[in-house]
Amino acid sequence: MVYRSLIRPLLFRFDSESIHHSTLSLSKWISSTPLWRAVDFFLKREDSRLAQTLFGVHFKNPVGLAAGFDKDALAVPLLAALGFGCIEIGSVTAVAQPGNPKPRIFRFPEDGALINRMGFPSAGAEAVLEHLKRYQKGDIRCTLGINIGKSKITPIEKAPDDYISSFAKLRTFGDYFAVNVSSPNTPGLRQLQEKGPLRELLARLQEANETEKPLLLKIAPDLEFSALDDVIEVAEQSRIAAIIATNTTFSRERLTATTNEVGGMSGSPLYARSLQVVEYLSAHAPKNLPIVAVGGISSAVHALAYFSRGAQLVQLYTGLIMEGPFVVSALLRDLLNVCDRFSLPHICDLRGNKELCDEASRFLGSSATESL
């Protein structure tokens, strides 16, 4: 409440990226002092009903920070201390690059949306490795995912070498790696979602994956259902550990603001489409291929809607900007209240159970289907 009524209006007076940099610098500083431990102490909600192990990786709760917020792994301890069960850093590119010219992030608070055309600004895999090496054992109190993307200077035919170069440098640090072929702001990148190029990319990555790190695949919300069938087929053949659905969208559907800004849209207007994609994937993918849902989540009601459609884990980014740093802790509190109210031994008991999720959403104050 305080964030929405006082802090957000103040922060939103300034350019999005300047605020992002200031917040990240402050978070980086806090991460280098014992202060982050105090945040962890006050915000942590550890409870065995929220924990699960998927593809051999332990998640202390099902809510992760989506890629793009801490691209260079500058402030992982503090971000983890906000309560996230997983922090996905990146996208990291093999070659350091500045990304697109600024301004490149635009806010639409009335719609709970962002449009960005960052174009993968990245310190590069080498520098990110150095940042990760700085953390002591125990500084990162959750799962660490590393999201890798293609460097702009690398031609699309050489994409596998580029991804492998980042993966090889960072492999000892990530609990899992997300292969990002779905950002809308790198020319040609989304072509890698097509059957042939995707199969080649994932086969080459798995060849280089001697220690069998879980490789996750992050896809776009703009794929047709037939293209999702191809993704499922290739993911299965390529021993992909899970699918992350979805990245930002080209569409401007459900955005009420008028804008000509080019880029990927995230936040509330993306929610309905990402839900459809997650529902389709859960219905058509093999049961042993988990789905990580992302798109427009800012409350437990949204998370419940994704669980009801079969997601095992959820992630958020725009919700953190719109609702502030306590969003995760509030979301987890609500999920635990649902477990208490419905005597659920584990949060997984909600998976695929629309009736129970709708009832739980009503208990939390609004129905999951109404929020569509």
Ligand X SMILES: Cc1cc2nc3c(=O)[nH]c(=O)nc-3n(C[C@H](O)[C@H](O)[C@H](O)COP(=O)(O)O)c2cc1C
- Rounded distance between C-alpha atoms, residue 277 and residue 246, angstroms: 8
Among 190, 218, 273, 351, binds ligand X (CB under 6 A): 218
Relative to beta strand 57-59, strand 52-54 is antiparallel
What is the footprint of ligand X within residues 104-143 (CB under 6 A)?
105, 114, 116, 118, 120
* 82 sits near ligand X (criterion: CB under 6 A): no
Q: Please, which residue, 304 or 344, has the CB nearer to ligand X?
A: 304
Q: Please, which residue, 301 or 356, has the CB nearer to ligand X?
A: 301
- Rounded distance between C-alpha atoms, residue 138 and residue 318, angstroms: 27
Alpha-helical (H) ranges within the chain are 2, 8-11, 16-31, 35-43, 76-81, 125-134, 159-170, 195-207, 225-237, 268-284, 300-308, 318-323, 327-341, 354-364
Among 24, 39, 57, 66, binds ligand X (CB under 6 A): 66
What is the footprint of ligand X within residues 222-281 (CB under 6 A)?
247-248, 266-267, 270
- Rounded distance between C-alpha atoms, residue 84 and residue 149, angstroms: 23
Among 174, 317, 336, 364, binds ligand X (CB under 6 A): 317
Tell me the one-letter amino acid at 129: L
Q: Which span sits near ligand X by CB under 6 A: 205-213, 303-311, 317-325, 344-352?
A: 317-325
Work out how close the CB of 21 gets to ligand X at its nearest, in angstroms, rounded to a whole number: 12
Under DSSP, the state recorded for 7 is I
Mask: binding to ligand X, 272-301, rule CB under 6 A, as x and -? ----------------------xxxx----
The answer to whether the Cα torsion of 157, 71, 100, 191 is positive or negative is positive
Q: Percentage helix, strand, coil, to 5, in the chain? A: 45, 15, 40
Structure tokens at 196: 């042939």
* 62 sits near ligand X (criterion: CB under 6 A): no
Q: Which span sits near ligand X by CB under 6 A: 47-55, 63-71, 222-230, 343-351?
A: 63-71
User: Exposed e or buried b for every residue in 21-60, given b needs 16+ CB within 10 A?
Assistant: eebbeebbebbbeeebbebbeebbbeeebbbbebbebebb
What is the footprint of ligand X within residues 159-198 (CB under 6 A)?
180, 183
Q: Please, which residue, 97 or 282, has the CB nearer to ligand X?
A: 97
Among 91, 312, 329, 367, binds ligand X (CB under 6 A): 91
Work out how close the CB of 357 gets to ligand X at its nearest, in angstroms, rounded to a whole number: 19
Q: Please, which residue, 180 or 193, has the CB nearer to ligand X?
A: 180
Helix (H, G, I), strand (E, B) or coil at 97: strand
Q: Please, which residue, 184 or 344, has the CB nearer to ligand X?
A: 184
Residues that are catalytic: 183
User: Site residues (CB under 6 A) for ligand X?
Assistant: 66-68, 71, 90-91, 105, 114, 116, 118, 120, 147, 180, 183, 218, 247-248, 266-267, 270, 294-297, 316-319
